[in-house]
Structure 1
């Protein structure tokens, strides 16, 4: 824009007219003209010498005017560029502010759909800490009917807006039981239906892992199934520890997959911990990852999710965790 304004300005046109003959001169031209004038002076009278000097002075003044014009044009061009940079910087700041506000709004929405901690049995306590503004972890629990209650935690590959959108969509599908012809009391059937509903080819090549369990209150039977997800950890009231998982790949990676459920019984005083891989995939030293069994041992001794987070952060060292930290504790 500045280039065009300067190109067409009367000042620039006049500058070109003045500079055109000046550019054809060489640095020694002035000395040559003085020598020539001196040579003429030797053969001419005082009047001729004065006329030659006046002509030379006029030429020098013209060159000075040209230089002043060039200086003014340079200043004007610099000011125009500075104005353009200021406008661009203001637009960038405005856009950045808007994006930050939208990311904050999206993060607030993700947390708003998470369930309130339960104080009645089974009691729940949870902690979600995304590694970036928007993560791909989410979880939930709800009554399917008077005798059955579902618990689930999922982890979408990657981070950012795309992962968060897929995570929220899958959670809302589970909460609203929006999978046609699916018995939500059967964890295997739920995972198979999710796999059919969310093929990665239709989700920008994103997939997710999940652990889904259903408690039958009247019998204490807990049925569960997992798709590519870390095992959940069951600490019984007597101190024994079980890890609960079933074979199966992540949801959406391969079509027409069939997932099967397993089951165990839970009783008063038992605790179930649903985790994402971000809770334990940290380095204990350069190049050395935390062993899952060490994590299980520490998790089984914990009382709160915050206690586990502090321990993992201590292992990880300063800075954010490499992945989303999600932990859902359920006390029966």
Structure 2
């Protein structure tokens, strides 16, 4: 019965040092619809396999010069795109001989004298195996193409995220600022390419200073987009767009009460349709000429105050996050800073970091880090040292699980101008 040309085995190479066997087996295979090639020796067969690879090799084991076993071994060493099925024809039937053939790369065996029915059955078995192998190869090729497409997509996304990180870092253009005799230092370390933390400052004029620490719910691109929007609402570059500032008739800007600024920001965010993210915020309006601080804490970590004499205290009693519900009013806290006092606004990326003992850093750990870093340096060195100490004490397998950010105000620590 003619075979289908779409079968897995089309081209068959018959190798035998007997021309009679080549003619007999070849005629049977041709009658079955195969394209038949013949070789009278191993080297001749290898030459054919190298230039015109067959789908199946049917080789006698015992041949002068190069045996069928050696031919099989050399055949497997050729660089073929697809897999070639190899059947050894032999009078050997011992288990050791069969194992030797399998080690050389043979797929199947036929024992002399070969019957046509058994030959047909062995070829059918080979066709099923090659069909499955070629299906697998095609699926692997499709998978490779898909993986390459995914790699390109991932690379494009990664490039976009790197650019987004650069843009987000630009939201904090000033990392250190000296105003009068005080100094502000900022730290922003996203846990991924981009994050939902934001720290910043703005100076409307004179010795007034606005200082804030913000943590948007969630992580990633969506949170980063919200931080970018909030950065515009608290802009240091365009004070007329800053919700925390009042513009006078003479064109100068003054600080709003922090509670009023938080309420206005809440109204903006809660009114945005489709935006489910909310944020926590600690915002301080500072008068650096007197040390008077007015603060609002909207669900954010309470600022940490380190007095010049070494005493510490956390300031604030919570409050609702911004953008969570509409029509919210906020409490305002007032306190004084004195010469040498340090005020730290920070995100919970510090206090919730997991240490080597399996516990979170917590408030006590933060106080310790702050004391140690303040004793070791000043200005931005304090921020960098705190982050270094934090990561050094974290569990070895622990990566940043959250963004880490902080804003530090060192009050009246610089020499007064003469």
Q: TM-score under structure 1 normalisation?
A: 0.74
Instruction: Provide structure 2 residue ranges, at least 5 long, that are not aligned to the other structure.
Output: 11-31, 34-114, 247-254, 375-381, 412-418
Q: Kindly indicate whether residue 268 of structure 2 is the aligned counterpart of residue 197 of structure 1.
A: yes
Alpha-carbon offset, residue 260 of structure 1:
2.6
Residue correspondence of structure 1 range 222-241 to structure 2 within 5 A = 222-241=293-312
Q: 1:214 to 1:95 in 2, by over 3 A?
A: same
Q: Deviations over 1:90-110 (max 9, x none)?
A: 111111111111111111111
Of 142-151 and 170-179, the range deviating more from structure 2: 170-179
Of 93-102 and 240-249, the range deviating more from structure 2: 240-249
* Conserved? CA contact 2:306–2:312, under 8 Å: yes
| SS state at 2:138 partner | helix
Alpha-carbon offset, residue 60 of structure 1:
8.2
Which protein has greater RCO, CA pairs closer than 8 Å, 6+ apart?
1
- Counterpart of 1:329 in structure 2 is 408
2:385 to 291, 295, 307: 307
* Conserved? CA contact 2:353–2:360, under 8 Å: yes
Q: Kindly indicate whether residue 279 of structure 2 is the aligned counterpart of residue 279 of structure 1.
A: no
| SS state at 2:6 partner | helix
- Counterpart of 1:248 in structure 2 is 319
Name the CA distance, whole Å, in 1 between partners of 2:270 and 2:292.
31
- Counterpart of 2:230 in structure 1 is 170
Instruction: Provide structure 1 residue ranges, at least 5 long, that are not aligned to the other structure.
Output: 1-8, 20-56
- Counterpart of 1:320 in structure 2 is 399
Q: Deviations over 1:49-85 (max 9, x none)?
A: xxxxxxxx98888888877877776665455334322
Of 129-138 and 103-112, the range deviating more from structure 2: 129-138
Q: Kindly indicate whether residue 213 of structure 2 is the aligned counterpart of residue 153 of structure 1.
A: yes
Name the CA distance, whole Å, in 2 between partners of 1:130 and 1:118.
19
- Counterpart of 1:87 in structure 2 is 145
Q: 1:182 to 1:254 in 2, by over 3 A?
A: farther
Q: Deviations over 1:229-264 (max 9, x none)?
A: 111122232333332225411111121001132222
- Counterpart of 2:189 in structure 1 is 129
Q: Deviations over 1:7-56 (max 9, x none)?
A: xx9635xx9xx89xxxxxxxxxxxxxxxxxxxxxxxxxxxxxxxxxxxxx
RMSD: 3.3
Name the CA distance, whole Å, in 1 between partners of 2:133 and 2:356.
58
- Counterpart of 1:37 in structure 2 is none
Alpha-carbon offset, residue 306 of structure 1:
2.2
Residue correspondence of structure 1 range 2-13 to structure 2 within 5 A = 11=6
* Conserved? CA contact 1:151–1:214, under 8 Å: yes
* Conserved? CA contact 1:207–1:250, under 8 Å: yes
Name the CA distance, whole Å, in 2 between partners of 1:203 and 1:223.
33
Q: Deviations over 1:148-186 (max 9, x none)?
A: 210001001121111111112112211145366964431
Alpha-carbon offset, residue 111 of structure 1:
0.8
- Counterpart of 2:198 in structure 1 is 138
Name the CA distance, whole Å, in 2 between partners of 1:126 and 1:159.
20
Name the CA distance, whole Å, in 2 between partners of 1:322 and 1:87.
34
* Conserved? CA contact 1:192–1:259, under 8 Å: yes
Residue correspondence of structure 1 range 15-30 to structure 2 within 5 A = none
Instruction: Extract structure 1 runs of 4+ deviating beyond 4 A.
Output: 57-79, 179-184, 284-287
Q: Kindly indicate whether residue 363 of structure 2 is the aligned counterpart of residue 292 of structure 1.
A: yes
Residue correspondence of structure 1 range 24-43 to structure 2 within 5 A = none
| SS state at 1:155 partner | strand
**Aligned residues, how many?**
286
Name the CA distance, whole Å, in 2 between partners of 1:61 and 1:260.
92
Which has a greater percent of helix?
Answer: 1
- Counterpart of 1:48 in structure 2 is none
- Counterpart of 2:287 in structure 1 is 216
